[in-house]
């Protein structure tokens, strides 16, 4: 019951009973003695309504107390609701190390689940939610997904955040950022984005800038650089010393070393190519087969035979088989054995 309505009804009842007793029962007065103290004479009607007044005051105190407790509990739910909204927003944004403190038991369960989950709004999720903060975040996420650029500063996301990476990628694709802007500030951009941009960068960049930002080198970028050596367009002239430093930065497999030799077969001078893979094979066992491939591809049969003769019986079987065929006068393409 609302306190205001209860007060009006109670006062109306007290007045009616007091008036009824005074008007129709008795108008006399009487004195009351309490602990030996004689109180002034009071109307009997007043003495009748006095317990009712005391009961009204006591009930008001009782209801006010529980109303206050209800208000405090409601405020806890309201605060937890706001924290839950923040928790959902953080989950949408992919924030790490999320931990929100909830006061109510039901929100504690939901909050714990949300804080330890990754939530991705579906691409078709365009419905309006009855919460401005969530709507704003959903609009930001949808715009970034659609290739637009959004302002993420107010969310304080780290550079490694997936949404931040995609937003910076959109800025790069729209020309707001250049590849060198990103590569020259590696602390401001995620390493994966730097490596992705570097692949584009090396397609036309001069050698000195390629070396300058080689911390972002990837295998894909390395093969792009190799394809430009002595090419007809966007030509690069690269010494073996530079190439060796690039190869050493990568952990190439046996097949990748062979692919690198194939990539250099048409453009690089035979002597330079042979010397490059000889040096690589001396420093990395995985490059030995690429060196053998290079020797056979360049028809350096004597040098290849010396390497194979120095190997153990179980090593380089396919190259030994190719050597045997060549010694028997069979001329097959070395690529058939790779």
Query: Do the domain assignments include residue 293?
Result: no
Q: Is the pLDDT of residue 281 over 90?
A: yes
**pLDDT tens digits, one per residue of 172-199:** 999 999 999 999 999 999 999 999 999 9
Q: How confident is the model at residue 1 (pLDDT cuts 50, 70, 90)?
A: low
Within a domain: residue 250? no
* pLDDT at residue 293 tops 60: yes
Question: What confidence score (pLDDT) does residue 226 get?
Answer: 94
pLDDT of 59 above 80: yes
Within-domain flag for 115: no
Q: How high is the pLDDT of residue 41?
A: 78
Bridge partner residues of 229 (DSSP): 236
Give 294's contacts (C-beta < 8 A, 6+ positions apart). Answer: 261, 273, 274, 277, 300
pTM of the model: 0.75
Is 51 a residue whose pLDDT tops 80?
Answer: yes
CA–CA separation, 80 vs 111, rounded Å? 9
Residue 30 phi/psi, 5-degree rounding, is -155, 155
Give the chain's domain count: 1
Q: Do the domain assignments include residue 227? A: no
- Structural domain contains residue 11: yes
What are phi and psi for residue 204, nearest 5 degrees? -135, -10
Q: Which pLDDT does position 127 carry in this prediction?
A: 60
At 210, the pLDDT band (50, 70, 90 cuts) reads very high
- Tell me what pLDDT residue 314 has: 84
Determine which helix (DSSP H) or strand (DSSP E) holds 204, and give its type and residue range: none
Give domain status of residue 181, yes or no: no
Average pLDDT over residues 133-161: 91
Q: What is the pLDDT of residues 152-174, one digit of tens each?
A: 999 999 999 999 999 999 999 99
Average pLDDT taken over every residue of the chain: 89
- Which comes out higher in pLDDT, residue 71 or 181? 181
CA distance 8 to 326: 115
Distance CA(40)–CA(29), nearest Å, equals 10
Decide if 197 is inside a domain. no
Burial class (CB in 10 A: 0-12, 13-18, 19+), 268: buried
Residue 184 CA: distances (Å) to CA of 113, 156, 177, 188, 210:
40, 22, 11, 9, 12
Instruction: Enumerate the β-bridge partners of residue 33.
Output: 38
pLDDT at 2: 75
Angle at 246 between CA 203 and CA 160, to 5 degrees: 70
pLDDT over 80 at 129, yes or no = no
Domain presence at residue 327: no
Q: What is the distance between the alpha carbons of residues 85 and 131, in angstroms, rounded to a whole number?
A: 8
**pLDDT at residue 123 greater than cutoff 70:** no
Domain span at 78: 3-97
Evaluate whether 197 touches 179 at the Cβ level (below 8 Å): yes
């Amino acid at each position: 019951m609302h306190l205001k309505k209860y007060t009006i009804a109670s006062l109306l009842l007290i007045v009616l009973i007091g008036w009824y007793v005074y008007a129709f029962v008795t108008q006399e007065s009487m004195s009351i003695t309490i602990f030996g103290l004689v109180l002034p004479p009071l109307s009997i009607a007043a003495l009748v309504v006095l317990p009712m007044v005391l009961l009204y005051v006591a009930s008001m105190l009782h209801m006010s107390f529980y109303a206050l407790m209800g208000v405090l509990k409601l405020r806890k739910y309201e605060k937890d609701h706001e924290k839950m909204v923040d928790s959902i927003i953080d989950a949408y944004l992919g924030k790490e190390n999320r931990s929100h403190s909830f006061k109510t038991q039901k929100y504690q369960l939901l909050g714990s689940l949300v804080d330890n989950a990754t939530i991705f709004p579906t691409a078709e999720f365009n419905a309006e939610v009855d919460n401005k903060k969530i709507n704003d975040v959903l609009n930001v996420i949808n715009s970034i997904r659609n290739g637009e650029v959004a302002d993420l500063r107010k969310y304080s996301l780290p550079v490694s955040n997936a949404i931040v990476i995609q937003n910076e990628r959109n800025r790069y694709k729209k020309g707001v950022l250049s590849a060198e802007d990103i590569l020259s500030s590696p602390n401001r951009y995620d390493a994966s984005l730097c490596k992705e941009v570097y692949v584009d960068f090396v397609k036309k960049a001069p050698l000195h800038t390629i070396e300058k930002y080689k911390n972002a080198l990837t295998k894909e970028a390395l093969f792009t650089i190799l394809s430009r050596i002595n090419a007809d367009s966007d030509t690069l002239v690269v010494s073996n010393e530079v190439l060796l430093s690039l190869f050493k930065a990568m952990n190439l497999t046996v097949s990748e070393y062979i692919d690198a030799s194939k990539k250099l077969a048409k453009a690089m001078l035979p002597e330079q190519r042979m010397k490059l893979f000889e040096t690589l094979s001396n420093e990395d066992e995985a490059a030995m087969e690429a060196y053998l491939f290079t020797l056979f591809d360049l028809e350096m049969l004597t040098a290849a035979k010396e390497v194979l003769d120095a190997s153990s019986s179980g090593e380089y079987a396919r190259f030994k088989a190719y050597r045997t065929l060549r010694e028997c006068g069979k001329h097959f393409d070395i690529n058939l054995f790779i």
